[in-house]
Amino acid sequence: MLTYSFADIGSDSLYHHLYQCVKNDILSGELAVGTKLPSKRSFAKNLGVSNITVENAYAQLQAEGYIYSIPKKGFYVREISGLTFPVEETSSESSGRNSLPQQYVADFVSNRINPGQFPFSVWSKLLRETLLNRHEELLETPPWGGILELRRAISGHLKEFRNMEVSPEQIIIGAGTEYLYGLLIQLLGRDKIYAVENPGYHKIAKIYEGNGVGVRFIPVDKTGMDIVQLEMSAAHVAHISPSHHFPTGIVTPIGKRYELLGWATREKGRYIIEDDYDSEFRLAGKPIPTLQGIDRSERVIYINTFTKSLASTIRISYMVLPKHLLEEFERRLSFYSCTVSNFEQYTLARFIEEGYFEKHINRMRTHYRRIRDELMCAIRKSPLAACCEITEEDAGLHFLLHIDTKLSDHDLLQKAKQASIRLSSLSEYYCDGTPDVPAHTFPINYSGLSSEEIPYVVKLMTKCVFKA
């Protein structure tokens, strides 16, 4: 029977260690496809661990697709279809799964940060010191807007990097922008109509629809949301991303920004939600002032997140409310508790305050620029060069790849999926019924790619495009 040692497991849990051992043997081929694994009971007895340990290990292996079970027979090793470096499916759009991950060689859809890039040692040090030195504060209910220290640090950061004059009190911390959108609907009103960008990030419209408010899809022209259409739509609130529109990559120029502010001030009760989700990663060009920064009439709500700039799995985002909305929030919604753990709020506050965040952003910007350049270079040196064009590559973490091909978008996406590449087409980000949707254009989010993977991934992409 299979035997593993539990001697050097360190701080790992028993079941996780067992899971790792079996997984490694499956990946190395030691355990061949179709091999029947020992029964839970006999395996547990043999290893000298509890049944529950084996059960948990098997459950994890099954959930991750390494093994499968046949009722009343047992557990068997599943075929893992020729993956060289498995990447778990992750998605900023939707994880689309509750327990069973799908595996990809490359994922051009999600934002992700590779483990080598995350500042684990600094984060761990700050967290440890916070836990050691701040017992009282860690257990004190924070103000509804979040820990004051963090809001002060963010206020300083916004001043320095976005030239925004924002008082810490105006900042409200929340567990992800999705949660903050929900609060904003409660603040601005369910009777309001919300305008979203078309094409745009699906999830925003889904959240408005899920909350039962009216949504209008407004076309995006070459400079951002179309003002004439916006005016005609009867919308009260425009949710836009002027710093870097997703998926087109458009950056709204300053003139258009003033026009948008003009729209907002033209009628009472109009607001702009300025979603600045990846402005930290502008890779070239001059920064353009935020709408919040040039707004003199309290019409702009600024939203940003650390899920893009730090890690999507640390759920910390924030919004900046104009003063009159802040008062209204306090009056009507301050009964909500802050949704982010004090432990992480204090840690992030020090991370920003002591300059680590700035260093991290600079390092990531350099890293992303390199990955982008290497990927573009590899594409240009590949057979793809003959039929591809790259645009909108300077802002944020994705560019657009235009492919001159006879394949339909659907067919190309299918082929990519078969090659274990997670790809989306620009057309997917338009709402149903939009006329003249551009074909053969693919947003390429390269944040999860590593240098080593690029040659192989470009080879796979070439195959998808050229092989029948």
Report which of 407, 273, 314, 270 is spatially closest to residue 111, judged by C-alpha positions: 314
Q: Specify the residue, 76 or 343, whose C-beta has the smaller distance to its own copies.
A: 343
Residue 368 CB, nearest distance to its own copies (Å)?
16
Residue 89 CB, nearest distance to its own copies (Å)?
8
Please answer whether residues 394 and 285 qualify as being in contact, where contact means their C-beta atoms are separated by less than 8 angstroms: yes
In the three-class reduction of DSSP (H, G, I as helix; E, B as strand; rest coil), residue 88 is classed as: strand
Residue 139 CB, nearest distance to its own copies (Å)?
6
Q: Specify the residue, 347 or 425, whose C-beta has the smaller distance to its own copies.
A: 347
Residue that is written with structure tokens 């432990």 in the block: 343
Residue 194 CB, nearest distance to its own copies (Å)?
14
In angstroms, the CA 209 to CA 214 distance is 7
Residue 57 CB, nearest distance to its own copies (Å)?
11
Residue 284 CB, nearest distance to its own copies (Å)?
27
Q: Specify the residue, 3 or 5, whose C-beta has the smaller distance to its own copies.
A: 5
In angstroms, the CA 116 to CA 315 distance is 20
Residue 377 CB, nearest distance to its own copies (Å)?
27
Report which of 141, 140, 170, 138 is spatially closest to residue 155, judged by C-alpha positions: 170
In angstroms, the CA 313 to CA 181 distance is 18
CA distances, 70 to each of 31, 57, 193, 353 (Å) = 18, 17, 51, 55
Q: Specify the residue, 263 or 318, whose C-beta has the smaller distance to its own copies.
A: 318
In angstroms, the CA 321 to CA 166 distance is 9
Dihedrals φ, ψ of 334, to 5°? Answer: -75, 0
C-alpha of 111 from chain center: 4
Please answer whether residues 301 and 291 qualify as being in contact, where contact means their C-beta atoms are separated by less than 8 angstroms: no
Residue 203 CB, nearest distance to its own copies (Å)?
6
Residue 192 CB, nearest distance to its own copies (Å)?
12
What DSSP assignment string belongs to 136-156? HHHHSPPPTT--HHHHHHHHH
Q: Specify the residue, 186 or 451, whose C-beta has the smaller distance to its own copies.
A: 186
Residue 58 identity (one-letter amino acid): Y
Helix (H) or strand (E) holding 104: strand 103-104
Q: Specify the residue, 68 or 120, whose C-beta has the smaller distance to its own copies.
A: 120
Report which of 366, 163, 169, 398 is spatially closest to residue 277, judged by C-alpha positions: 398
Residue 401 CB, nearest distance to its own copies (Å)?
23
Helix (H) or strand (E) holding 55: helix 51-63
In angstroms, the CA 103 to CA 43 distance is 28
Q: Specify the residue, 10 or 48, whose C-beta has the smaller distance to its own copies.
A: 10
Q: Is the peptide bond before 247 cis (omega within 30 degrees of 0)?
A: yes
Beta bridge partners of 400: 391, 443
Residue 72 identity (one-letter amino acid): K
Residue 356 CB, nearest distance to its own copies (Å)?
12
Q: Where are the alpha helices (DSSP H) in 248-394?
A: 254-266, 291-294, 306-309, 323-333, 342-353, 356-381
Q: Specify the residue, 221 or 354, whose C-beta has the smaller distance to its own copies.
A: 354
Q: Specify the residue, 12 or 389, whose C-beta has the smaller distance to its own copies.
A: 12
Q: Specify the residue, 238 or 352, whose C-beta has the smaller distance to its own copies.
A: 352
Q: Specify the residue, 42 or 95, whose C-beta has the smaller distance to its own copies.
A: 95
